Each structure stands twice: as C-alpha cells, then as structure tokens.
Structure 1
Amino acid sequence: MRLVASDIDGTILGHDGKISDRTIRAFHACREAGVELVFVTGRPPRWLTPLQEQLGHSGTVICSNGAVVWDLAAEKALASHVLGMDAVLEARTIIKSIRPDALFAAETLTGFHLEPGFIENATSELLSEVTPAPLRQTLTADDAVVKFLAISRSVSPDDFLAEIQPAVAHLVTTTHSAPRTALLEMSVPGVNKAVTLAEYAASLGIDAADVVAFGDMPNDIEMLRWAGEGYAMASGHPEAISAAGQQAPHFDDDGVAQVLEAKLAAQRV
C-alpha cells in the first residue's frame, strides 16, 4: 500500500459534515507510515473545507469526478478537463426533450451557475451567492465548465441515469453520486475518477497494484475497478459494491478506518 485514494461524501464524511475521530487518526497514521494520500471526489474545489479543517490536508485533491486536479495549499488548479459550450447546450436540449421537468447548473473553475428552481431550499447559501438564471444567459465561451448538472424531481437517480446516459454519451460522461436525489453529473467524455487518479499515481511512480481506493457511489465505480484494491462501502450503492473487488464495513462503523488500521498493522509485521 503506497497510495490511498478516498472518496469523501458517504465514504469518510457524513451528512453532519463530520469526519470521525477514528478515521482522522487512520489517515494520520498513513501519513506517518509514508503512505501517500489523495482524495478523489465529485465535489468542486470550493467545497473542500472539511479536508483542510478536520484532516489538515494540504495536498492534492482530484475534484469534479476527475475533471480537476486541485492543489489545496496553493488553492489553484494543476490540471483541468473543460466542457465546450456547444456540448453543454446540446446536452441540455437532449435531456430536456427526455425529461421536460429537468433543470440545470454548471460548475466552472471560477464559480457556479444555476437555473431558477434547480435548488428548492430558499435558504441555501448558494442562493445568496448566485443569482439563478438560464445558462444561456450566464455562461459565456470563456467559462471553463468542468461539471454540468441536471436534476429531475420526477424520477429516481438510477432511472434518470439509465435514460439519459446513452442519449448524451457522444457529448459527455454521465454519472451520479447523490443517493436520494436524481442529480446527474456530466463531464468531458472519457474523464472519470479512475482516469485522473491513474495519471496522478503515475506521476508519483506508483502502480495501480499499490493503490487502495475507497468509494460508495456509481461515480466511484471506475476508480474501484482500477485500483489494485478497491473497497466499496457496505453502506454504498449496489452497483459500486458489485464493481469493487472488496468491501469495507459500513460507513457508520468507520469502515475506511477499519481497513486502513488492518493494512498498516500488517505492514508493520
């Protein structure tokens, strides 16, 4: 075990926004043992505060499902894969033809754009930062879109993915990571967590066989398959569990920490 790659939400971070003390200790023990750490998330760079404040992480984070490699210490993108405006707007048209109730948002390297109604919670912090408006009005050719989002409130997450993914496959890579919300996450074709993680590991001279990865949702599937040891959380999505070679205990039982503790103990023997 030379590199640990972990998803964040539902894998090490709960709905309360907390990382458990046991998990924090396990990651610190990895660092002390000389094991590299990288977090691989669907989150944008602006939502990485828990890693900084709770874990004291200041290294690399692979964000937006592989579309951005972010340097936490320098607070800048080291690499990015950007969607063209034509692809975004064409995908929007196709999705709207299939699900007329769908609403859209776009994550860029510099901000967030969302359509009216995309967020239902009128008290959301995002609504105080961003004025909702049609994407055609707010996005420009200069905006670097790293993740295009579509939400529907009339279908399940898995069904939404199943009907939209093949229709837009020529334009975007499509996945989802919200367990109870039909929220699709789209990026440049061919880009996912595994692709960017493989590039990052190679830059460190680390082979897939020496990577231990953790995840819980469909956007983790490729990463879990690529890693020498891919662990899906027992509390995760059935497709992630099926895709992974191994299973970590339930999130509520500090599954990631349990696996890391056992591996570090075995390395010391």
Structure 2
Amino acid sequence: MRLVASDIDGTILGRDGRITPRTVRALHACEEAGVELVFVTGRPARWLTPLSEQLGHAGTVICSNGALVYSLETMSVVSSEAIRRDTMLEVREIVRGLFPETVFAVETPVEFVMETAFAEPRHQRLLEEVRHGDLAELVQGDEVVKFMAKIEGITAEDYLRVVAPHVSHLVSVTHSAIDMTMLEMAPIGVNKAVTLAEYAHALGIAPADVVAFGDMPNDVEMLAWAGEGYAMQSGHPDALAATELHAPGIEDDGVAQVLERKLAGIGRTAVGSGPARRARGS
C-alpha cells in the first residue's frame, strides 16, 4: 500500500458533515507511515473545507469526478479538463428532447451557475448567491468541468439508462446524489479512475499499490482500477458490484477498519519475524 485514494461523501464524511475521530486517526496514520493520501470526489473545489478543517489535509484533491485537480496547499487549480460550450449546449438539447422537464446547472473551476428552475424550494437561497438564468448566456467559454441535469419523478438509475446512450459520445455521465435525481457529466473520457491513474503514475505508483474507497456509481471505475478497491457496505449496489472487496459501512468507520488492518500488516512486515507484541506496537 503506497497510495490511499478515498471518496469523501458517504465514504469518510457522514451525512452530519463530520469525519469521525477514528477515521481521522487512520488517515493520519497512513501519512505517518509514508503512504500517500489523495481524495477523489465529485465535489467542486469550493466544497473541500471538511478536509482542511477536520482532517488538516493540505495535499491534492481530485474534484468534479476527475475533471479538476486542486491543491489545498496553494488553494489553486493544478489542472482541469473542460466540456466545450457547444458540446454542453448540444447535450442540453438532447437531454431536454428526452425529458423536457430537465433543469441544468454548471460547475466551472471558479463558480457554480444554474438555470433558475434548478433551485428547488428548499434551495431558494441559491437565487441570491449564484448567477442563474439561461446557461447559453451565463457560460461564454469552454470552461465547464461538471454539467448537471436534474429531474423529478424518476430514479437516477432509470434516468441514466435512458440518457446515457444518447450522450455518451459527447460526455462521460454518472450519478452520485443521494437525495435527488441528478446526472453528472464530465468531459468525454474523464472519470475518477482516469485522473487518479495519471496522479499515481506521476508519483511512480502502480495500480497494484493503490487502495481506493468509494460508495456510489461515480466511484465504479476507480474501484475497478485500483489494486484494492473497497466499496462501502453502506454504498450503492453499483459500487458494491464493481469489486469483490467491501469495507464495513461508513457508520462503522469502514475506511478506518480497513486501513488499521493494512497498517498493522505494514508493521508486521517492517519487524520481520519479531515478536507479535512488538509488531502490534510498531
């Protein structure tokens, strides 16, 4: 184990917005043992405060399902891949032709913009906080790192099943939201696994030495790519089906349990055939 790559929401971060002390200790122990740590999330860069505030993480984060790499040390974008503006508009027309009631929003490296109807009644404050209106007017450049399509009255799985065959030649499409039906689209060929593979290669780390954790469909490629990809037992069926390795659920500190076991193995290897008591204390 040379690199730990972990999703955030539903994997280490609970719905209460907290990372448990046990998980914090396990992640810190990895770094202390010389294991690289990178977070791989669907979140935009502006939503990384749980990592910095609760974990004290100041390293690299792969955001927007692989479309953007961000440094918490310098608080700046390292690299990004964007959907072309004309492609975004073409996809919008295709999806709206299939589901006219669909509403859309966009993440760029610097902001979130949306169609006015994207703000649900519970999110009306967004109308005061972000630019909203016609995306054709709001997005002027080739800067979209995440394109979102939202609908009601259908499951995310059914929505994806219908939409994906019509847009997969233009964008990568997945979903990860728990409390809404929303598709998340990235530039064609971009997902968490692709960007994580590039990151690991730059460090000279092979897939076999990567341990990854995730819980939703947007983690599937990453879990399959990593030498050890653990789906959270509390996760989506698609994530669980992507790998034979399952970690206990987030409510049971599943990531921490796996890492504690693996770090203990590193300790035993380090002390060779020394006494078991010494290995446990290493």
- TM-score, structure 1 as length reference: 0.97
Q: Structure 2 matches for 1:216-231, cutoff 5 A?
A: 216-231=215-230
Q: Structure 2 matches for 1:1-269, cutoff 5 A?
A: 1-123=1-123, 126-141=126-141, 144-269=143-268
- Does the 8 A contact of 2:215 with 2:232 survive in 1? yes
Larger Rg: 2
Deviations 1:201-249 (A, max 9, x none): 0010000000000000000000000000000000001111010230000
User: CA 1:11–1:86 in 2, change beyond 3 Å: closer, same or farther?
Assistant: same
How many aligned residue pairs are there? 268
- Does the 8 A contact of 1:229 with 1:245 survive in 2? no
Higher mean C-alpha deviation, range 46-55 or range 171-180: 171-180
Deviations 1:44-88 (A, max 9, x none): 000000000000000000000000011111111111101100100
User: CA 1:179–1:266 in 2, change beyond 3 Å: closer, same or farther?
Assistant: same
The CA distance in 2 between the partners of 1:48 and 1:119, in whole Å, is: 22
The amino acid across from 1:36 in the alignment is E
Equivalent residue of 1:16, what SS? coil
Task: Give how far 1:123 is off.
Answer: 5.0
The CA distance in 1 between the partners of 2:74 and 2:28, in whole Å, is: 21
The CA distance in 2 between the partners of 1:170 and 1:102, in whole Å, is: 20
The CA distance in 2 between the partners of 1:262 and 1:231, in whole Å, is: 13
Equivalent residue of 1:117, what SS? helix
Report percent identity of matched pairs: 59
Task: Give how far 1:122 is off.
Answer: 4.8
Task: Give how far 1:125 is off.
Answer: 5.2
- Does the 8 A contact of 1:231 with 1:248 survive in 2? yes
The CA distance in 2 between the partners of 1:180 and 1:160, in whole Å, is: 14
The CA distance in 2 between the partners of 1:262 and 1:124, in whole Å, is: 45
- Does the 8 A contact of 2:116 with 2:127 survive in 1? no
The amino acid across from 1:115 in the alignment is E
The CA distance in 1 between the partners of 2:110 and 2:265, in whole Å, is: 44
CA RMSD, Structure 1 to Structure 2 (Å): 1.1
User: CA 1:102–1:174 in 2, change beyond 3 Å: closer, same or farther?
Assistant: same
Equivalent residue of 2:118, what SS? coil
Higher mean C-alpha deviation, range 12-21 or range 222-231: 12-21
Deviations 1:92-141 (A, max 9, x none): 00000111110000000111110112121455553332132111121102
The CA distance in 2 between the partners of 1:95 and 1:224, in whole Å, is: 28
The amino acid across from 1:253 in the alignment is D
Task: Give how far 1:264 is off.
Answer: 0.3
Equivalent residue of 2:34, what SS? coil
Equivalent residue of 1:15, what SS? coil
Equivalent residue of 2:189, what SS? coil
